[in-house]
């Protein structure tokens, strides 16, 4: 049986620890996540439970993600094949997430088996990494800011570029199941790639400098 976590008072305690580690005030975190300061205060104090959608916004503002947040206290799966009984599921009244890939330093993608429940009205959300998804069951209503809504059926896929506000919800009064994959934009491997200076074209070397490559004649192989 796969482990299941719900959003509880422990969530608020862990969120507060992340906020303090990032040196954010409650007001600053609320501003970055687009929520009220009182919401952050009540969540950290355990007086209310966050939805997965809102918790994800708070974690992104803190430079984290929902997968590593819930996986912190779970043993990290090793190897390159991951069995369903090892996967963790987290749910609230609006949706359910099963984390298909473990939160490891050498894996820079998050992959979720999502179920969206009927009646949820999520807000628009923009991620720092690209997002893609594939509908398994139900009817998904996908909305990208500035474009008409699109209705996706089983077998349809979608792609949302980084920073593009979007939201998905049930389109026919029934739950929707999909697999989504997104790049962890703050993953250490990703940062190293974008921060690596561009080498540019190789500079010419002076003859006899010891750095120029030996030219070979066509068809002549050297031992």
| 44, pLDDT greater than 70 | yes
Strand pairing report for 140-144 and 150-152: antiparallel
Mean pLDDT in residue range 138-166: 95
Q: Please state the domain extents for the chain.
A: 1-78, 108-195
Mean pLDDT in residue range 103-109: 86
Residue 52 pLDDT = 86
Domain 1-78: CATH class, spelled out:
mainly alpha
Residue 74 pLDDT = 65
Residue 72 pLDDT = 61
Residue 103 pLDDT = 83
The candidate with the shortest Cα–Cα distance to 177, out of 73, 85, 95, 84, is 95
Pick the CATH number of 108-195 from 3.30.1600.10, 3.30.565.10, 2.60.120.10, 1.10.150.530: 2.60.120.10
pTM equals 0.70
Mean pLDDT in residue range 68-84: 81
Strands of the 150-152 sheet, one edge to the other:
150-152, 140-144, 166-170
Mean pLDDT in residue range 59-72: 81
pLDDT tens for 157-211 read 999 998 899 999 998 888 999 999 988 655 444 444 434 443 444 444 444 444 4
Least confidently predicted of 63-72, 84-93, 122-131, 165-174: 63-72
Residue 184 pLDDT = 65
| Between 18 and 67, the higher pLDDT residue | 18
Tokens describing residue 191: 């940062």
Residue 88 pLDDT = 87
Residue 211 pLDDT = 41
Mean pLDDT in residue range 16-36: 94
């Amino acid at each position: 049986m796969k482990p299941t976590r719900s959003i509880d008072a422990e969530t608020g305690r862990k969120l507060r620890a992340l906020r303090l580690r990032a040196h954010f005030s409650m007001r600053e975190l609320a501003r970055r996540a687009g929520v009220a300061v009182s919401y952050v205060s009540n969540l950290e104090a355990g007086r209310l439970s966050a939805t997965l959608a809102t918790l994800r916004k708070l974690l992104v503002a803190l430079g984290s993600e929902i997968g590593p947040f819930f996986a912190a206290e779970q043993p990290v799966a090793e190897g390159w094949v991951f069995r369903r009984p090892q996967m963790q599921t987290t749910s609230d009244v609006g949706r359910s997430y099963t984390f298909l890939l473990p939160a490891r330093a050498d894996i820079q993608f998050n992959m979720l088996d999502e179920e969206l429940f009927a009646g949820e009205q999520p807000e628009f959300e923009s991620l720092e990494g690209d997002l893609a998804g594939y509908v398994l069951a139900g009817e998904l209503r996908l909305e990208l800011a500035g474009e008409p809504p699109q209705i996706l059926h089983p077998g349809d896929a979608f792609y949302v570029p980084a920073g593009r506000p979007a939201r998905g919800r049930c389109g026919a009064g029934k739950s929707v199941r999909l697999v989504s994959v997104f790049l962890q934009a703050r993953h250490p491997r990703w940062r190293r790639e974008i921060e690596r200076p561009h080498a540019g074209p190789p500079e010419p070397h002076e003859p006899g400098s010891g750095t120029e490559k030996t030219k070979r004649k066509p068809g002549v192989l050297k031992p």
